[in-house]
Amino acid sequence: MASREEIELNNLKKDALILIGKRIQGFREKSELSQVDLAGKVLGRIDTTNISRIESGRTNVTVFTLLRLAKALDITLEDIVKDI
């Protein structure tokens, strides 16, 4: 049985990943980019499946990937993670 602290930690993680994903999706849509378009703008290799998982909050994205996404969207890392 999970402790109260473990449950709170899991909920915090889940909520943060969903919020980050929604922000990335919002900036992408505001830029009128598809997931394919965004994947093409990201420095280095990233596939649309990974972008989909990030936007839906189903993966724990690395800070480096967030930075690459921010640069591709012409926003700051802070724009993605502020007030979480």
Tell me how far apart the alpha carbons of residues 62 and 73 are, in angstroms, rounded to a whole number: 17
- Domain enclosing residue 52, as ranges: 4-81
Tell me how far apart the alpha carbons of residues 49 and 32 are, in angstroms, rounded to a whole number: 18
In the chain, how many domains are there?
1
pLDDT of 22 higher than 90: yes
Tell me how far apart the alpha carbons of residues 41 and 17 are, in angstroms, rounded to a whole number: 22
Kindly state the average pLDDT of the residues 11-38: 98
pTM: 0.93
Quick: pLDDT tens for 6-19.
999 999 999 999 99
pLDDT of residue 1: 83
CATH code of the domain in which 10 resides:
1.10.260.40
